[in-house]
């Protein structure tokens, strides 16, 4: 996430729910001790809906509070676990994008898991990028951002527990339904 802090000053707008929109990109603010996001910054900073925010010169500012980037976290897990599922189903981005409930629709979450799995297990980056590009155009800014990260193999921290240690529980309990949908997408790609 550190490259996000480089470059010219960018104006953003609080989306509420711990997210800020910057030039077609959604930045997630993750409270310390909570699962980190591939598009996120760990901070207790709150950006209210409609609040102006600024990003530049290695700092994020919202509501008069400033956050400096801390240690980087690599959102790409090193998979040591393979998942088994009936391989006859292959998700279609144009049919799933933007569908389902939740802050990030469950269809998008499934596509995130699937795209990341294509990259992590099979090295199929071009196919993952095509899925993410199609889906991102049909869904919310936050989901589109997370889909583009997934197409690079970058996933929320609870997915690392599954892929690196074989522990599915953090992912199953992640979000309202996001973790379970990501898990299904990963299984389909495996």
pLDDT tens-digit readout, 155-179 = 999 999 999 999 999 999 999 899 9
Q: Which of 49, 67, 85 is the last residue of a domain?
A: 67
* Residues 175, 107 share a domain: yes
Domain residues for the domain of 46 are 2-67
Residue 77 is assigned to a structural domain of this protein: no
Q: Are residues 54 and 97 in the same domain?
A: no
Tell whether 41 is covered by a domain: yes
**pLDDT tens digit sequence for 125-151:** 999 999 999 999 999 999 999 999 999
Q: Tell whether 150 and 62 lie within a shared domain.
A: no
State how far the alpha carbon of 3 is from the alpha carbons of 72, 73, 186, in Å: 10, 12, 27
Q: Which two tokens stand for residue 39?
A: 């598009």
pTM of the shown model: 0.79
For residue 27, is it within any domain? yes
Q: How confident is the model at residue 184 (pLDDT cuts 50, 70, 90)?
A: very high
180 and 120 part of one domain: yes
Same domain for 57 and 105, yes or no, is: no
The answer as to whether 75 is a domain residue is no
Q: Would 85 be classed as within a structural domain?
A: no
| Max CA pair span of the chain | 53
For residue 84, tell me if it sits in a domain: no
What's the number of domains the chain is made of?
A: 2
Q: Long-range contacts: 22-31, Cβ < 8 Å, 24+?
A: 22/53, 22/55, 24/141, 25/141, 25/145, 26/141, 26/142, 26/144, 26/145, 26/146, 27/55, 27/60, 28/142
């Amino acid at each position: 996430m550190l490259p996000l802090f480089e470059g010219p000053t960018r104006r953003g707008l609080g989306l509420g729910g711990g997210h800020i929109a910057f030039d077609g990109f959604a930045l997630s603010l993750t409270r310390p001790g909570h699962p980190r996001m591939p598009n996120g910054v760990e901070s207790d900073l709150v950006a209210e809906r409609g609040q102006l925010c600024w990003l530049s010169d290695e700092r994020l500012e919202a509501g008069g509070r400033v956050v400096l980037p801390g240690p980087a976290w690599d959102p790409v897990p090193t998979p040591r676990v393979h998942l088994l599922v009936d391989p006859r189903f292959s998700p279609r981005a144009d049919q799933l994008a933007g569908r389902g409930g939740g802050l990030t629709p469950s269809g998008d979450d499934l596509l995130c898991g699937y795209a990341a799995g294509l990259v992590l297990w099979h090295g199929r980056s071009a196919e993952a990028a095509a899925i993410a590009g199609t889906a991102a155009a049909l869904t919310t800014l936050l989901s589109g951002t997370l889909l583009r990260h997934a197409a690079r193999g970058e996933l929320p921290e609870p997915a690392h527990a599954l892929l690196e240690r074989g522990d599915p529980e953090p992912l199953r309990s992640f979000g309202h339904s996001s973790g379970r949908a990501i898990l299904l997408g990963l299984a389909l790609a495996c």
